[in-house]
């Protein structure tokens, strides 16, 4: 039978009745979806303090599904508030709806383990449980080890402290001395940190997925399998100008250039073909290069 709580939350936040007492249900591994509007946090009907106390007494006396559902619906806005505070320090790729879903397991666990005879307010007790559930799930999905995350924070702090002290960007040696590490170890940390930050290729630059005609990060990446249009045009123009400059050379100089650069002959071999010495071929080659360079420079200025 579908209850009010089942309709308010996705299937992954539900827990079967066969779960042992005190075991926190684990969320199903689902990819983070982008562009999907976050589900609204269910809002329970306004209840008085006496009604909430009655729900607590009913649930702790005989844990019924109705009392448990009423408590979850009443404290659901607390999950959204904690998830919002946690999400402020996370990348934009992490959806708020996912944080709320993770936090619901912390709320359910807090309701099951809360002792009403203690002097701790449930909101304070549940907030830490909700935040812990969100962080635990984020860490479980993170492919970067916690040690690498710790190193990243230490390097960031070192850069910030040195920039504030030196009023400039610190050098690699200064950062290594500040961290009391050899430069080789610092470079090893840099190589580990290169995998920490990732970005979605389909994410629109400048934020906002609803902008028509937006450019994504994938659109800005170069394709090594295709030729660069600008480079192709520049190479074609250079060949055209070079061909015109070669046509302006003398006949013997043009022969020297063709045999040396296109036929791959040595200066001595060219000298035997033209019947002159190797030193004379070298002089003709130097003169031809000077003329070609001059004509190319003049063509670029024109």
The lowest-confidence range among 43-47, 85-89, 273-277 is 43-47
Q: Which residue has the higher pLDDT, 107 or 223?
A: 107
Angle between helices 172-179 and 146-166 (to 10 degrees): 110
CA distances from 34 to 29, 38, 84 (A): 16, 10, 17
**221 or 101, higher pLDDT:** 101
**pLDDT score at 23:** 38
Q: What's the whole-number mean pLDDT along residues 105-124?
A: 87
Q: What is the pLDDT of residue 231?
A: 83
CA–CA gap between residue 75 and residue 127 (Å, rounded): 10
Q: What's the pLDDT at 29?
A: 41
CA distance 239 to 258: 14
Does pLDDT of 55 surpass 80? yes
- Give the list of residues 6+ apart from residue 265 with CB closer than 8 angstroms, or none: 259, 273
Tell me, what's the pLDDT at 28? 42
Is the pLDDT at 130 greater than 90? The verdict is yes
Cα–Cα dist 104/80, whole Å:
9
Using pLDDT thresholds of 50, 70 and 90, give the confidence band for residue 270: very high
* Residues linked to residue 216 through DSSP beta bridges, in sequence order: 204
Whole-angstrom Cα distance, residue 211 to residue 214?
A: 6
Condensed to tens digits (0 to 9), the pLDDT of residues 30-47 reads 444 444 444 454 545 566
- pLDDT score of 16: 39
pTM: 0.43
Using one digit for the tens of pLDDT, what is the confidence trace for 172-218? 899 999 988 888 888 888 887 776 666 667 777 665 555 566 777 77
Q: Identify the band that residue 149 occupies on the pLDDT scale cut at 50, 70 and 90.
A: confident
pLDDT value for 37: 45
DSSP assignment of the chain equals ---HHHHHS-GGG---TTSPTTPPPPPP--PPPSSPPPPPPP-PPP--HHHHHHHHHHHHHS--HHHHHHHHHHHHHHHHHHHHHHHTTS-TTS-HHHHHHHHHHHHHHHHHH--TTSSS-HHHHHHHHHHHHHHHHHHHH--S-HHHHHHHHHHHHHHHHHHHHHSSPPPHHHHHHHHT--HHHHHHHHHHHTTT----TTSBTTS-TT-TTPPBTGGGS--TTS--HHHHHHHHHHHHHHHHHHHTS-HHHHHHHIIIIIS---HHHHHHHHTS-HHHHHHHHHHHHHHHHHHHHHHHH-
Alpha carbons 140 and 254: distance in angstroms, whole number: 71
Nearest by Cα to 28 from 101, 128, 106, 107: 101
Contact between 97 and 66 under an 8 Å Cβ cutoff? The reply is: no
**What's the average model confidence in pLDDT over 50-60?**
83
Burial status of residue 214 (CB atoms within 10 A of its CB: 0-12, 13-18, 19 or more): middle
Residue 103: predicted pLDDT? 92
According to the model, what pLDDT value does residue 27 have?
A: 42
What is the average per-residue pLDDT within 153-170? Answer: 89
Measure the CA–CA gap between 82 and 73, rounded to whole angstroms.
Answer: 15
> Based on the number of CB atoms within 10 Å of its own CB, is 148 exposed (0-12), middle (13-18) or buried (19 or more)?
middle
* Residues 3, 69 contacting (CB under 8 angstroms): yes
What's the confidence (pLDDT) of residue 129?
92
């Amino acid at each position: 039978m579908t209850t009010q709580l089942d309709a308010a939350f996705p299937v992954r936040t539900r827990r079967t009745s066969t779960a042992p007492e005190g075991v926190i249900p684990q969320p199903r591994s689902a990819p983070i979806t982008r562009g999907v509007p976050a589900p609204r946090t269910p809002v329970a009907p306004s209840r008085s303090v006496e009604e909430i106390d009655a729900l607590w007494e009913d649930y702790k006396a005989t844990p019924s599904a109705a009392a448990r559902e009423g408590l979850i619906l009443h404290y659901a806005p607390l999950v959204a508030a904690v998830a919002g505070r946690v999400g402020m320090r996370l990348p934009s790729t992490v959806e708020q709806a996912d944080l709320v879903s993770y936090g619901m397991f912390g709320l359910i666990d807090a309701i099951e383990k809360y002792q009403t005879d203690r002097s701790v307010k449930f909101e304070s007790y549940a907030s830490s449980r909700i935040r812990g559930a969100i962080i635990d799930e984020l860490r479980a999905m993170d492919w970067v080890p916690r040690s690498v995350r710790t190193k990243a924070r230490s390097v960031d702090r070192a850069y910030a402290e040195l920039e504030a002290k030196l009023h400039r960007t610190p050098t690699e040696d200064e950062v290594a001395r500040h961290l009391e590490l050899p430069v080789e170890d610092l470079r090893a940390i840099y190589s580990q940190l290169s995998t920490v930050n990732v970005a979605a290729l389909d994410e629109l630059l400048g934020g906002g997925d609803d902008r028509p005609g937006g450019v994504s990060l994938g659109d800005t990446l170069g394709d090594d399998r295709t030729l660069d249009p600008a480079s192709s045009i520049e190479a074609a123009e250079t060949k055209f100008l070079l061909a015109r400059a070669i046509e302006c050379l003398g006949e013997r100089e043009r022969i020297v250039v063709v045999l040396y650069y296109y036929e791959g002959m040595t200066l001595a071999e060219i000298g035997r073909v033209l019947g002159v010495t190797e030193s004379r071929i070298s002089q003709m080659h130097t003169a031809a290069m000077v003329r070609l360079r001059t004509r190319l420079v003049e063509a670029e200025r024109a």
